[in-house]
Amino acid sequence: MKTMFARAASAVACAMIALAAPGSAQPAIPHMQMWRLDCGTIDVADLDAFSDTYLYVGQKKRLTDSCYLVRHGENYLLWDTGLPGELAGKPPLTSDGYTTSLGSRLVDQLRGIGVTPDKVNFVGISHNHFDHIGQAADFPKATLLIGAEDLEATKKSDAAARFAPWLKGGAKVQETKGDLDVFGDGSVIVLDMPGHTDGHQSLLVRLPRTGPVLLTGDLFHFTENMQKHGVPGFNADRSATLASFDRFETIAKTLKARVIIQHELRDVAKLPAFPTPAE
């Protein structure tokens, strides 16, 4: 028995040495950059909806709506697509206590850095709410990365038109279940963080100079929401939300990551203003 364990230990040691060797087959991470993009503004008339324990009664708040472009060598991942593009340049629209506005479409912003829609390889969707899928159809050649549960729910809703290139046009869809290493080298990982919706996802991007960056999706909506663990009453699953809170915060602490709450004005300023990328 001792001999068997000794041989096993020796084999593991040799494998670890091989992985650490200069000639080992570890994937090389190409040049990476990350841009924050303006995907609109949302004024919330009644913030009480963002906690089922009455944390924000009588409060109102302005939220930003941010999207992100990640360059990985010659490939591009667009994370979330913001408010509907048809709002661009028009007066603010008020509906059900939310006032939304959009300055410019994503395609126009990306044109400023030489990225046309056909250059975007992946469109990653944190979840299927209107302020995150609004301009997805502007990138019909990209592979759609979306939680399987969210895609299924969208097929049965009025929002299905936002995914027309994938639902009707035959564009490639990768339905995610669990985490997804987008490029296979650990640099960009879609994280399974259910609760806000059943297929909700966050994103981890490991930049060479900036270090790890964690994008929340709508796991949290603003700083106080994260600090007090406010669970919106409209979330799909309360217990799953709390479990995702714990996982997300543990990852952030372990990696010493820069956390970006995508709707928090103070957080989006942690990355350079467009068109300057983080690297």
> Percent of the chain at pLDDT above 90?
88
Q: Give residue 37's domain range.
A: 30-268
Confirm whether 111 is domain-assigned.
Answer: yes
Q: Higher-confidence residue: 24 or 215?
A: 215
Please determine, for residue 62, whether its predicted confidence score (pLDDT) is greater than 60.
yes
Averaged pLDDT for residues 252-256: 98
CB-based contacts of 62, cutoff 8 Å, min separation 6: 41, 42, 43, 44, 265
Return d(Cα 231, Cα 116) in angstroms, integer: 38
Confirm whether 18 is domain-assigned.
Answer: no
Q: How confident is the model at residue 26 (pLDDT cuts 50, 70, 90)?
A: low
Confirm whether 139 is domain-assigned.
Answer: yes
Confirm whether 97 is domain-assigned.
Answer: yes
Please determine, for residue 89, whether its predicted confidence score (pLDDT) is greater than 50.
yes
Mean pLDDT for the chain overall: 91
How many independent structural domains does the chain possess? 1
Question: Whole-structure pTM over 0.85, yes or no?
Answer: yes
Please give the pLDDT value at position 29.
87
- Tell me the CB-side half-sphere exposure of residue 61, using CA atoms within 13 A: 20
Confirm whether 74 is domain-assigned.
Answer: yes
Averaged pLDDT for residues 11-28: 43
**CA-based Rg of the chain, rounded to a whole angstrom?**
20
Confirm whether 76 is domain-assigned.
Answer: yes
Confirm whether 54 is domain-assigned.
Answer: yes
CATH code for position 81: 3.60.15.10
Confirm whether 23 is domain-assigned.
Answer: no
- Give residue-wise pLDDT tens across range 152-190: 999 989 899 999 999 998 899 999 999 999 999 999 999
Q: How confident is the model at residue 277 (pLDDT cuts 50, 70, 90)?
A: very high
Strand 93-95, strand 98-101: pairing: antiparallel
By mean pLDDT, which of 15-19, 89-93, 105-109 is the weakest? 15-19
